[in-house]
Amino acid sequence: MDRPLERVPLPRETPPPVIDGPRPLPYPNGWFALCFSDELKRASVRTAPFMGGDLVLYRTAAGIAHAVTPYCPHLGAHLGHGGKVDGEDLVCPFHGLAYGPDGACVRTPFGSTPPRAALDKWLVQERNGAIFVWRDHLGRTPDRDVPDIDATGFSKQRRHCSELGGYAHDVAENLSDFAHFDYLHGFSDAEMTHGIEDNLLVSHLTGQWFGMPIRIRFVSHGLGFSVGECHIPRLGVKMIQRAYATPTAPLKWTLRWTDAVQVSLFNMLPAGLGKLMNELTISILHHIFAGIVAQDHEIWANRRFDPHPRLLAREATISTCRRWMMQFYPDQPVR
Residue type, 176: S
Contact (CB, 8 A) for 81 and 71: no
Sign for the CA dihedral angle at 299, 304, 305, 306 comes to negative
- Which residue in 212, 209, 223, 134 sits closest to 175, CA to CA? 223
Instruction: Give 255's contacts (C-beta < 8 A, 6+ positions apart).
Output: 161, 162, 164, 171, 243, 244, 245, 293
What are the structural domain ranges in the chain? 30-135, 158-328
Q: Provide the 10 A C-beta neighbour count for residue 261.
A: 28
Q: Do domains 30-135 and 158-328 have the same CATH topology?
A: no
Measured between its terminal Cα atoms, the distance across the chain in Å is 63
Distance, in Å, from the CA atom of 250 to the CA atom of 305, rounded to the nearest integer, reads 13
pLDDT digits (tens), the chain, 335 positions: 555 556 656 556 656 665 567 889 999 999 999 999 999 999 999 999 999 999 999 999 999 999 999 999 999 999 999 999 999 999 999 999 999 999 999 999 998 999 999 999 999 999 999 999 999 999 999 999 999 999 998 999 999 999 999 999 999 999 999 899 999 999 999 999 999 999 999 999 999 999 999 999 999 999 999 999 999 999 999 999 999 999 999 999 999 999 999 999 888 888 889 889 988 999 999 999 999 999 999 999 999 999 899 999 889 999 999 999 999 999 754 44
Assess if CATH 3.90.380.10 describes domain 158-328: yes
Give CATH for domain 30-135.
2.102.10.10
Question: What pTM, to 2 d.p., does this model score?
Answer: 0.91
